A and B are shown apart, each in its own frame.
Chain A
Amino acid sequence: MTTTELPRTVTEAPADTATHVVIGQRVAKIEGVDKVTGKALYGADTSRPGMLWGKMLPSPHAHAMITSIDVSSARALPGVFAVITGADLPTIVARISDTDAAPEEFDTPSRGKQILAWKKVVFFGQPVAAVAAVTQAIAEEALTLIKVEYSPLPVVIDPEAAMRPDAPLVQNAVYTETFSGKATTPSNIAKLTELSRGNVDEAISNSDVTVSGTFRTAMVHQGYIEPQACLAEYSADGRFTIWTSTQGQFGVRGGLSGFLKIPPRRIRVTASEIGGGFGAKGAMTLEPICTLLAYSAGRPVKMQLTRSEVLRATRPAPDAVMHVTLGARKDGTLLGARAAFIWDVGAYPGGGSVGGINCGFGPYIVPAYSYDGYDVLTNRPSTGAYRAPNGPQGAFAVESALDMLASKLGMSPVALRLKNAVREGDRNPSDVPYPRIGFRETLEAIEKHPVWASPKAASSRPGWLRGRGVACGLWGGGVGTSMAHVNIGEDGSAVIVTGAVDLAGTRTTMAQIAAEELQIPFERVNIVQPDTDTAPFNNPTGGSRITYSLGTAVYRASIDARTKLKQRASQQFRCPADEVDYRDGEFWVRSDPSVRLTIGQVARSAAGSGDGPVVGTGEVTHLLRAPAFATQLVEVEVDPETGAVQVVNVVAAQDVGRAINPTACEGQIQGGVVQGIGWALTEGYVYDEQGRLRNPGLLDYRMPTALDAPNIECVLVEVPAIDGPYGVRGVGEVPIVPTPAAVANAVFDACAGRVTSLPLSGEPVILAINDTKSGVDRSQMVAFNLGPISTGSTGASETAVDEPKLATEVEDYCAEDDVAEPELE
């Protein structure tokens, strides 16, 4: 595929802000009343007559062979209707689909296939068996009656240890995947991604200044407050009905169709109101097992994960070890960069890879580089998407290294970034050119902000030190298929029908777009999201794609409805359609503006005569990605005695393209920043040597509270994207990307301690302060001593080449998008 041409499409709805009436307004959330009165139904809030409760038995081992499972006592317990184990999967699937389900299918290293452990367990808490019973208590009792014998295997939970040739193999049939093919011997390195351009060795050795560092982040969880929940029902007509908390109901339908080997028409999925997803509910969790239980029990089955199950056995974000070297001229111009990013993707392949590289290095022009990404298997839960997947980790490494470079050069960290910032036409590490972007504008917004421009204040806490840090972030933008209908009511109102899940406010922005284009008051627009039998198709919600893609579909559907209304009006006026004008809910014939028909009158008449009622349709399959950039300024106070860190102030500048609803944009930014603060300061999985998670609860997995969250000022920068309506860009993902690095840079500014691992509050700060006191220069630590590693590589060249090598998905700015269909892998 050639990438020399920058694809351009015509901006459909001009970004001319002056003419907008509803776009840009701070209208209140359209579903607000349902949510403040407790009426909104979330995943666990729906019940069915005769419903059973499903529960799963977790593995007490992180790595062990299952030598036997005896479920007879559990099955005999009164009130138990179904007990299933991994060994039962082929039989049940064969019965449902009336086809052969070969056992080997489930013996593949795929989290999606192994919904219950298959022959061996590969992470602590992995479901081994599932039961359905009349009450939760009986289901729990049944679990205690299941006898499983394990033969423990050596455990590996550290990704660097897992890369060694003598490391225990997490999966027996995973072979390192590279651009040049697959290795022939199994390895814990599931994938090796190499991106390079120019002669990086020469560039680094020609540099006036170099910095190197190794940066580590912990495995963290998305932390949605609503645990996954699902209700499944089977009917004798062969159809399954599923209610579930998901980011994509059509994704669940497609995924179940593949898993159960039945056509989608036999599956009806209703996405419930969703209590937070952040990427994690883009992939299926409970749906397949709940469906199998409902089928086996012959009764509806509801399942709801406990919080410890959520933390132990869903799909958290990968931890990473990142080695980075930067070389620059005295004036700050970057000449070369070298990096090895090691992603702990957990027990099954997926996640990790190139996204963190593109997010981390993507904001800067680097003439020569060599970036390697390793996806490494360990005995931890398989990982998944978390808001701008892998961006925060990559940015933590790169933005920390840039801060080290700025301090070595005696240069302002904002000036250093401005000097190297990409512009339209520059290419990202995967060699994809940027369309129009607003990166520099976010840097300039911070540079001229009073907080940055004024001298640093003293700490408000006696003995504490105050510091200020800056970091940037990038998210490539999400795209995908969306469709919407706009039904025009007899009173001139409009109802948008879509099958897309609203994670946190897009119903309102969609209604704003329809109101704007139909030129009717916002209050006259409603929006519904019916099930997969009823709603038009949509890809799952994720990657900050909804306002951009579904917004385009709603825009087109509204224009279509308006065009049809005009045509209906022309029938009523008995004149050609092109002689009819329309504005603010009224039609008239251009030659005689005195006779007018309201949109309601036209719709009412049309409903019973002429060409009939009006439904506008709009669809979109692929827009040009609209990258979003952010620059954040973070102020912290640090206690040099304990290492405690409090974030006291944040200024977050972000290019939102066009703020359809500024309140919603700010909410996304503030939420992302506080998640980033949690990542930076307190959140992280803690494992013991046996690979058991030691903090599977919200007391010890410490997410920010209202007392930890600072004031966050949002600066909405509006550089219109070149595709999609009004110049809008996705807003949700990028605000989390810069935050952890900005916090670390602020800590350095406060106490001169360079913290290179997250979470950083406490001991890491003290250690960093001690390093500085004892003269350890972190900026010159040798970074690339990975040691011998068993890539099992097919001999992919390690020499630098002039032509860039491309990532597998060449169009991606941040390849590991979380918008993909949650098909079972």
Chain B
Amino acid sequence: MAKMIVNVEVNGERQELLTEPYRTLLDLLRDNLSLTGTKEGCGTGDCGACTVLLDGRPVNSCLVLAPEAEGRHVTTVEGLAEDNRLHPIQTAFIEEGGLQCGICTPGMLMSAVALLRSNAEPSEQAIRYAISGNLCRCTGYDKIVRAIEVASKTMQADAAIASH
């Protein structure tokens, strides 16, 4: 099958990528760009391990065809830390024990970031709902929920300081 070029911005960098049209955004990230932080757990949109932000919204990148990414902005787990400083959600996951094996963590972080952008102070139920598309088999979710609560508080405090 003829290949095509997809122009996409990934973690702030413009990329021009050659791909067969049947490949997915997940394939582009992992195979074309070697951004292997985004994981494949099922390939059918059921586990959420491949969650990335597409124009700011969380999507299962295994369900996004490569051509659909044309002209769009993608954020992956590799794009969360800025200037070698961890994002508060990353720090909270480490501090609160919100990860064990870590395979669901990149996708979980992206869902959490999307939630906190739209709802700075989510309830526990809202957190659980927001990550219900991300399966975790190690933690039983409890410490992930706590980590997102902590990140929410940290980010609000940071925002308050910044606004002063």
- The reply to whether B90 and A225 contact each other, CB–CB distance below 8 Å, is no
- The reply to whether A40 and B102 contact each other, CB–CB distance below 8 Å, is yes
- The reply to whether A35 and B102 contact each other, CB–CB distance below 8 Å, is yes
- The reply to whether A42 and B39 contact each other, CB–CB distance below 8 Å, is yes
B158 within 8 A of A: no
26 pairs of residues in contact across A and B, judged by CB atoms under 8 Å: A26-B97, A32-B94, A36-B106, A36-B109, A37-B78, A38-B37, A38-B78, A223-B137, A225-B47, A225-B135, A225-B137, A226-B39, A226-B41, A275-B102, A276-B101, A663-B96, A666-B97, A667-B139, A667-B140, A670-B143, A674-B140, A675-B140, A698-B47, A699-B44, A709-B128, A712-B140
A715 to chain B, nearest CB (A): 14
B129: contacting residue among A304, A664, A666, A707, CB under 8 A: A707
B20 within 8 A of A: yes
A45 within 8 A of B: yes
- The reply to whether A32 and B99 contact each other, CB–CB distance below 8 Å, is yes
Residues on B with C-beta less than 8 A from A640 are none
Question: With A504-B101, A706-B131, A707-B132 as given contacts, are A41 and B109 in contact (CB-CB < 8 Å)?
Answer: no
Closest B-chain residue to A31, C-beta based?
Answer: B102
Residues on A with C-beta less than 8 A from B135 are 223, 225, 698, 703, 705
Residues on B with C-beta less than 8 A from A40 are 102
- CA–CA, A28 to B99, complex, Å? 10
- The reply to whether A36 and B97 contact each other, CB–CB distance below 8 Å, is no
- CA–CA, A669 to B100, complex, Å? 12
B149 within 8 A of A: no
Residue-wise, chain A 662-695 has the 8 Å CB interface mask toward B (1 for contact) of 0110110111111100000000000000000000
- The reply to whether A706 and B141 contact each other, CB–CB distance below 8 Å, is yes
- The reply to whether A38 and B106 contact each other, CB–CB distance below 8 Å, is yes
Residue-wise, chain B 132-150 has the 8 Å CB interface mask toward A (1 for contact) of 1111111111111100000
B104 within 8 A of A: yes
A33: contacting residue among B44, B94, B106, CB under 8 A: B94
Question: With A37-B81, A38-B35 as given contacts, are A29 and B97 in contact (CB-CB < 8 Å)?
Answer: yes
A505 within 8 A of B: yes
Residue of A41, A225, A226, A675 with most partner-chain B CB within 10 A: A225
- The reply to whether A671 and B103 contact each other, CB–CB distance below 8 Å, is no
- The reply to whether A275 and B131 contact each other, CB–CB distance below 8 Å, is no
- The reply to whether B97 and A227 contact each other, CB–CB distance below 8 Å, is no
Residue-wise, chain A 253-275 has the 8 Å CB interface mask toward B (1 for contact) of 00000000000000000000111
- The reply to whether A671 and B78 contact each other, CB–CB distance below 8 Å, is no
A44 within 8 A of B: yes
A604 to chain B, nearest CB (A): 29
- CA–CA, A300 to B2, complex, Å? 26
A673: contacting residue among B97, B129, B140, CB under 8 A: B140
A150 within 8 A of B: no
Known: A224-B137, A670-B141. 12 other contacts (CB 8 A): A32-B93, A36-B93, A38-B77, A44-B40, A226-B103, A227-B40, A273-B101, A276-B103, A504-B138, A667-B138, A699-B44, A705-B133
Residue-wise, chain A 224-236 has the 8 Å CB interface mask toward B (1 for contact) of 1111000000000
Chain A residues within 8 Å of chain B by Cβ, number: 58
Residues on A with C-beta less than 8 A from B93 are 32, 36
- CA–CA, A505 to B97, complex, Å? 9
Q: Which 5 A-B pairs have the closest CB atoms?
A: A38-B37, A275-B103, A670-B140, A35-B102, A32-B94
A11 within 8 A of B: no
**A residues adjacent to B (C-beta < 8 A):** 26, 28-29, 31-42, 44-45, 47, 137, 222-227, 273-278, 304, 306-307, 503-505, 663-664, 666-667, 669-675, 697-699, 703, 705-707, 709, 711-712
Residues on A with C-beta less than 8 A from B141 are 670, 674, 705-706, 709
A667: contacting residue among B35, B78, B143, CB under 8 A: B143
B67 within 8 A of A: no
B116 to chain A, nearest CB (A): 15
- The reply to whether A671 and B37 contact each other, CB–CB distance below 8 Å, is no
B43 within 8 A of A: yes
B76: contacting residue among A38, A45, A711, CB under 8 A: A38
- CA–CA, A40 to B90, complex, Å? 14
B119 to chain A, nearest CB (A): 15
Residues on B with C-beta less than 8 A from A674 are 139-141
A705 to chain B, nearest CB (A): 4
A268 to chain B, nearest CB (A): 22
- CA–CA, A703 to B38, complex, Å? 21
Residue of B106, B129, B137, B143 with most partner-chain A CB within 10 A: B137
- CA–CA, A672 to B138, complex, Å? 7
Question: With A42-B103, A698-B47 as given contacts, are A37 and B94 in contact (CB-CB < 8 Å)?
Answer: no
A634 to chain B, nearest CB (A): 13
- CA–CA, A225 to B138, complex, Å? 9
A711: contacting residue among B36, B129, B142, CB under 8 A: B142
A237 to chain B, nearest CB (A): 28
- CA–CA, A225 to B41, complex, Å? 5
Closest A-chain residue to B143, C-beta based?
Answer: A667
B51 within 8 A of A: no
- CA–CA, A565 to B139, complex, Å? 40
- CA–CA, A540 to B131, complex, Å? 32
Residues on B with C-beta less than 8 A from A33 are 86, 90, 94
Question: With A278-B137, A667-B100 as given contacts, are A706 and B95 in contact (CB-CB < 8 Å)?
Answer: no
- The reply to whether A671 and B128 contact each other, CB–CB distance below 8 Å, is no
Question: With A504-B100, A706-B131 as given contacts, are A675 and B137 in contact (CB-CB < 8 Å)?
Answer: yes
Question: With A28-B95, A29-B99, A674-B140 as given contacts, are A38 and B38 in contact (CB-CB < 8 Å)?
Answer: yes
- The reply to whether A706 and B144 contact each other, CB–CB distance below 8 Å, is yes
